Structure 1
Amino acid sequence: MIKFGYTILYVEDVEESVTFYENAFGFHRKFISPEHDYGELITGTTTLAFASKSLASQNFTDGFIESSLEDKPFAIEIGFIVENVPEVLQKATSFGAVIVSEPVEKPWGQVVAYVRDLNGFLIEICTEVENVV
């Protein structure tokens, strides 16, 4: 059996990124390493983690593509399921998230909005998908 354990975002400043997610979305930090190059948030069964770009450089000697607000977002997103999309969207933007798409109700009834975090990573803020028959 395989368990999806975590997603790691490579960022310039781990402490700043963890603090942003705590403030914007209400998550709580699990820990930050003494070197401040790695941190995790308590987000449910799958951990959202952050590692410094310098740590990533040690792991990926051939380099990697960095996320930035100045560039288009990667073709991947983090999804946060919430009850009130407009409320969470407003809170996230008050802490620096950048709106990509205002809330829209999809044909299957789900409400979806998109923002980018301080590092340019794409976040979907959405309601739960109800059972579709």
Structure 2
Amino acid sequence: MPASPADPASPGSAHLGYVIRHVADVERSRRFYETAFDLTTRLVHDSGSYIEMETGATVLAFATPDLIRELGVDPGAAGTAPPIGTELAFVVADEAVAVTVDRAIAAGAHLLTAPTRQPWGQLVAFLRDPDGLLLEVCGPVPG
């Protein structure tokens, strides 16, 4: 029986395991995402320079630029400008969109657009996190 495409052990296939944000203050990011989106911290490195948040199938992680530089990679300048072309979308029930947006704002997000029903029926709001990353809070796409 062939392995499913989501099986990480399957040769030739891949799955998205991590989204890692390089930020100057991983603890601030942890507090924001725990408060705004009710995420659970699943790992904190002893150095405090790397954390992982539980989001389901894909881990959301934060690392300091210095940690990545120690691995021989220059991540660019963290926190100096919003990442262009990057967005994190958090899907919640329609009735939870406004509440989640309000929680994110109270935790330090900046509102870009209030929850709006899109022509395809989805309820969508846009914000920026404290480091400038574009966030979407949305309901499921109707069926």
When the two structures are superposed, what TM-score results if normalisation uses the length of structure 1? 0.88
Report the 3-state secondary structure (helix = DSSP H, G, I; strand = E; otherwise coil) of the residue aligned with 2:137. strand
Residue 106 of structure 1 aligns with which residue? Answer: 118
Structure 1 residue 16, shift from structure 2 partner: 1.5
State which structure, 1 or 2, has the greater radius of gyration over its C-alpha atoms. 2
8 Å Cα contact 2:65/2:74 also seen in 1: no
Select the residue among 118, 126, 130 that pairs with 2:138: 126
In the alignment, structure 2 segments of 5+ residues that lack a partner are: 1-12
CA-based RMSD: 1.6
2:112 and 2:104 mapped to 1: Cα distance? 12
Structure 1 residue 57, shift from structure 2 partner: 2.9
Residue 89 of structure 2 aligns with which residue? Answer: 79
Deviations 1:24-60 (A, max 9, x none): 1101000110001110011111100000121233345
2:25 and 2:45 mapped to 1: Cα distance? 12
8 Å Cα contact 1:13/1:52 also seen in 2: yes
When the two structures are superposed, what TM-score results if normalisation uses the length of structure 2? 0.82
Residue 76 (structure 2) pairs with residue 64 (structure 1): yes
Aligned ranges for residues 1-133 of structure 1 at < 5 Å? 1-59=13-71, 61-62=73-74, 64-68=76-80, 71=81, 73-83=83-93, 84-131=96-143
Q: Percent identity?
A: 36
2:50 and 2:107 mapped to 1: Cα distance? 21
How many residues align? The count is: 129
Distance of aligned partners of 1:19 and 1:107 in 2 relative to their CA distance in 1, 3 Å threshold: same
Deviations 1:108-131 (A, max 9, x none): 100111111111111110011123
8 Å Cα contact 1:102/1:113 also seen in 2: yes
